[in-house]
Chains A and B, each alone.
Chain A
Amino acid sequence: MNKIKCECGHVNPEGTVLCEACGKPVEGNQHIDGNDQRKLLNMRYDGSARRSQTYNKSIIDKIWNFFSSVKVGVWLIVLALAASAIGTIFPQEQYIPADAPSRDPSVFYEAQYGTLGQIYYQLGFHNLYESWWYMLLIALIGVSLVICSIDRFVPLYKALKMQKPKRHTTFLKRQRLFSETEHVTADEKDKLVSGLKKQRYKVREENGHVLAEKGRFSRWGPYVNHIGLIIVLIAALLRMTPFMYLDEYVWVREGEQTVIPGTEGEYYIKNKKFILETYDKNDERFKEAIEMQGNVAKNYQTNAVIYKEKGETVAGADPELEKVTEDKIRMNHPLKFAGYTLYQAGYQQNEFKSMTFKIHKTDDPDEASLGSFTIDLTEPKDEYQLDNGFSVDVTQYYPDYELEDEEPASKTNFPRNPAFVLTVHPPGNEEPEMSFVGIGKNVDATGENDYKLGIEDFETRYASGLTVRRDYTLPLFIIGAVIFMIGVIQGMYWQHRRIWLHPTKEGIMVAGHTNKNWFGLKKDIEQVIADTNVNMVDDQLDTD
């Protein structure tokens, strides 16, 4: 490496723009920070030698330089910004409304939004945030962040550590805030120093040369916040692994008990009761609003009991359970146990629990019952024997009936709209008859049936939808976010201010630099020089 020895005696690394110790511009390197074009010195990294500005030979140099460029970084940020915005033009796949005529993305986008929607879907924008290129963009920002920070942090740290109170006059004159005063008494110089101390500057003196400094730690703000961001990005990466992040959904009906998915059969949940409350229509406060928008839900709640399986499972046998906890799960108030969290996420009203049918003669206007039977929808049997000799076969069962392409089908496995094809075997040797029965539907297959089935009664209940989560990445996100906040606040609410006093023959030069808030620095200097003859610094930016 070609070290550069400055006239002040300090040896600088190759690529240095301003001597680390005295600030004298290193000839031949001024183009790096553009100082050859301007009167004022570029103080961004105190003129320290950055790898990216020094080497440009190997492939590695080139990659390094690419990612350490803020220009590239800003481009990446702007691209991510634009991509994110595009993702909101139409709803993402997961936000296709539940009541849409078709929730199949290949149909939905075109049906709702026409050609534009079709293009949107074909470009994969309906899943934009999970697309490989969006993730790549975010990853590139991460890479840029790391390289950029290393490229600048180390040299800046060294330069700030090496700096001496005595600075070269060229350095001082080319600061944004500068003044020179011909005649200044020793007394006044002392006043300046005590004034600086009074404003809580850290003052270092060397043969009458003074460096007063305040808030240097704020210079590390950007690096701290970038570390926070990197931690958040790593957390996001880990979140894609199933061990770190578990996400399941479970439906439990009132009075039922079921194994909690994702817990490897270890935990069970029982839904003792589901509660749905709405706001009172007669409440003075909300009367008007409720009249306008209709009923407003106040609370969704599942009263749940969590069980843990005890000992070994014997295949086939019912597990032996031990109660872990009993609690209410409400929106905004999840239930936590053994590292898992259960959230109230949805509910299904009026799910059918059981249905009771009666048989009567088709031509009987009174529909007098010849016998009835009850189908438990949790476990429908294949055949029901009635007391009076009838028997009924359950030929087909559609828990959530719909007509799909003219064919009967079940939309889900939940008994939300149960329908049956039932075969009635009358007593004696009469021919068996088939009927199709559901809510509001009663179809006779042949039109010649002697017996008809009618719904006599049914029971409904709520089903509660709960999300099951185990998220070990959460603490990492929190740590990252906290570090990020500390970093931005450190960098934004404090500033690094430096004031140099440089004695000349009988007078003094004053120069000042800050990384932001020049107004504050000027006010500091104004107060320091009050009651002295020292000239107020000029803001040379105006005359640049």
Chain B
Amino acid sequence: MDSLIDVSSTMLYTAFILYLIATFFFGATIRDKNKSSTKGAGVSGKIGITITIIGFLAQIVYFITRWMASGHAPVSNLFEFMTFFGMALVFAFIILYFIYKLNILGLFALPVAMIVIAYASMFPTEIAPLVPSLQSNWLYIHVTTVSLGEAILSISFVAGLIYLIRQIDQSVRSKRTTWLEIVLLSLFIFVGFSIISTSFNLSGYSAEFEYSFNGETVTTDYHLPPIAGPNEGELLTGDRMNPLFDAPAWMKGVDAARKFNTVIWSVLTGLVLYGLARLILRKRVGAAIQPFLRKAKPDMLDEISYRAVAIGFPVFTLGGLIFAAIWAQLAWDRFWGWDPKEVWALVTWLFYAAFLHLRLSRGWHGEKSAWLAVGGFAIIMFNLIAVNLVLAGLHSYA
């Protein structure tokens, strides 16, 4: 049993490394002399996609072995679910790569997938048993199709982001350049979260607090030094720093303060990383990337962004609304109950419906459409992360 779990985690690790290597090969395609190299053949691109596929297969092995070890499909907690989402992202990228053969897509899609997987690995990875409401095949069907749908929609974001970096005028500072930097900064924050969590995990940092929750005294274990401690909490572990301040009292919920502390750390680390990048590059991050994207054709990027929505929207509807409703009907005897997770699936769906109508009938192409793709991705991430951690409802994985 243990060996299976070991195989499983090794495979996930392998996949991660392979995605990293593949990213470099896709990066190398920028330098290819061959004019048509952003599109079609090109040796680096071929190697890149091959390594991506091998990485994807490695991740499939991770998935299957973990399934065998736990006896249920590994999509039942935040770690498993986010990891699966990362895998679906790679899969969606592979599909769109074979339609459009655009190497630059890999250079951005794989890092996004890696960020997601690294982020996932920061959550508890123990194999947990399934509570009764989750013991249904519909859980697997639902979760896998939603992730796949969201992953395809995310590729729309990736293409849109490349479009924006390539097209936005970087010669002067404007509202658009600022927003683009904010989007890039938020990616840095995710990276920051993974780096800071890993560092303190490796160092074995732990500080225990006692605080009162719904009239009971509970404890929580910080793995990051407490900038914000629990409201009126008391530090139990000796020789640890005292919190700089207490989390506000309205932050209720299990471990709310600890999560808040983690967010502060992630944002700070992200800001530091971003600041360093700015210092080294001596210009906006968007402006620094822009010259490498000259060869990518904007209308091609625009088309991929739209196509990804066209392909992803039906998949998302099926998984996120229809299968979800079937499962909810079986598990909780109502197919729709307005719990936060369901509502945010509806919000996502309405958003992309608006996207399609704006594009189709109001002619929102190019830049406007790319900004919409960014907005859609923000909603998806909000649903995956914030709703789970903050607005916990029935689905609460965390």
Contacts and interface: CB of A to CB of B under 8 A. Distances in A.
Interface in A247-282: 279
Interface stretch (B51-59, B162-170, B272-280, B304-312): B304-312
Interface stretch (A71-79, A378-386, A388-396, A526-534): A71-79
B132 interface: yes
A332 B331 contact: yes
B338 A78 contact: no
A297 B130 CA distance: 8
Contacts of B344: 85, 88
A95 B392 CA distance: 10
Contacts of B335: 474, 477
Interface string A488-515: 1100110000000000000000000000
Q: Which of B252, B329, B346 has the most CB of A within 10 A?
A: B329
Contacts of A488: 313-314, 317
Q: Tell me whether chain B's interface is mostly helix, strand or loop, or mixed.
A: helix
B299 A485 contact: no
Nearest to B127: A285
Contacts of A95: 339, 393
Interface in B244-303: 250, 252, 299-300, 303
A428 to B, nearest CB: 49
B313 to A, nearest CB: 6
A299 B130 CA distance: 10
B126 A288 contact: yes
B351 interface: yes
B1 interface: yes
A80 B299 CA distance: 32
B111 interface: no
Contacts of A489: 314
A112 interface: yes
A286 B318 CA distance: 32
Contacts of A279: 129
A139 interface: no
A290 B314 contact: no
Interface size class of A (residues with CB under 8 A): 35 or more
Interface string B88-127: 0000000000011000000000000000000000001011
A542 interface: yes
A296 interface: yes
B322 interface: yes
A392 B311 CA distance: 76
A334 B330 contact: yes
A393 to B, nearest CB: 37
Contacts, number: 145
Contact of A296 (B128, B214, B353): B128
B250 A113 contact: yes
Contacts of B172: none
A334 B346 CA distance: 26
Contact of A297 (B132, B299, B303, B387): B132
A50 B303 CA distance: 28
Contacts of B351: 81
Contact of B362 (A71, A289, A334): A71
B201 interface: no
Contact of B343 (A84, A299, A492): A84
A519 B303 contact: yes
B178 interface: no
A84 B362 contact: no
B128 A289 contact: yes
A113 B99 CA distance: 50
A341 interface: yes
B36 interface: no
B129 A296 contact: yes
B217 interface: no
A302 B206 CA distance: 44
A285 B71 contact: yes
A297 B128 CA distance: 12
A489 B70 CA distance: 35
B350 interface: yes
A401 interface: no
Contact of B129 (A74, A290, A518, A519): A290
B174 interface: no
Given A85-B343, A95-B393, A492-B311, A332 B126 contact: no
A542 B1 CA distance: 60
A481 B353 CA distance: 15
A479 interface: no
A332 B137 CA distance: 10
Contacts of B331: 331-332
B132 A298 contact: yes
A84 B346 contact: yes
Nearest to A299: B132
A112 B252 contact: yes
A215 B210 CA distance: 65
Interface string A285-309: 1101110110011111000000000
A94 to B, nearest CB: 8
A300 to B, nearest CB: 6
Contacts of B41: none
Given A88-B391, A516-B306, A331 B135 contact: yes
Contacts of B350: 77-78, 80-81, 84
A492 B135 contact: no
Contacts of B71: 285
A517 interface: yes
B357 interface: yes
Contact of A332 (B135, B311, B346): B135
Contacts of A74: 354, 357-358, 362
A251 B43 CA distance: 69
B319 to A, nearest CB: 11
A462 B357 CA distance: 54
Given A129-B338, A284-B1, A334-B330, A517 B307 contact: yes
B128 A286 contact: yes
B132 A332 contact: yes
A276 to B, nearest CB: 10
B100 A519 contact: yes
A289 B127 contact: yes
B214 A99 contact: yes
Contacts of A345: 332-333
A495 to B, nearest CB: 9
A80 B69 CA distance: 44
Given A485-B322, A488-B313, A489-B314, 17 more contacts: A71-B362, A74-B362, A84-B343, A88-B343, A88-B391, A129-B338, A285-B70, A289-B127, A299-B132, A332-B133, A343-B333, A469-B333, A481-B322, A485-B314, A488-B314, A492-B313, A493-B311
26 contacts: A77-B354, A78-B350, A78-B354, A81-B350, A85-B347, A91-B393, A95-B393, A99-B214, A101-B214, A285-B71, A289-B124, A289-B127, A289-B129, A296-B128, A296-B131, A298-B129, A331-B132, A334-B333, A467-B333, A481-B321, A481-B325, A485-B314, A485-B318, A493-B311, A517-B303, A542-B299
Interface of A: 44, 70-71, 73-74, 77-78, 80-81, 84-85, 87-89, 91-92, 94-95, 99, 101, 112-114, 129, 279, 283-286, 288-290, 292-293, 296-300, 330-334, 341, 343, 345, 467, 469, 474, 477, 481, 484-485, 488-489, 492-493, 516-519, 539, 541-542
Q: Which 7 A-B pairs have the closest CB atoms?
A: A343-B333, A70-B361, A289-B128, A331-B132, A81-B350, A88-B340, A288-B126
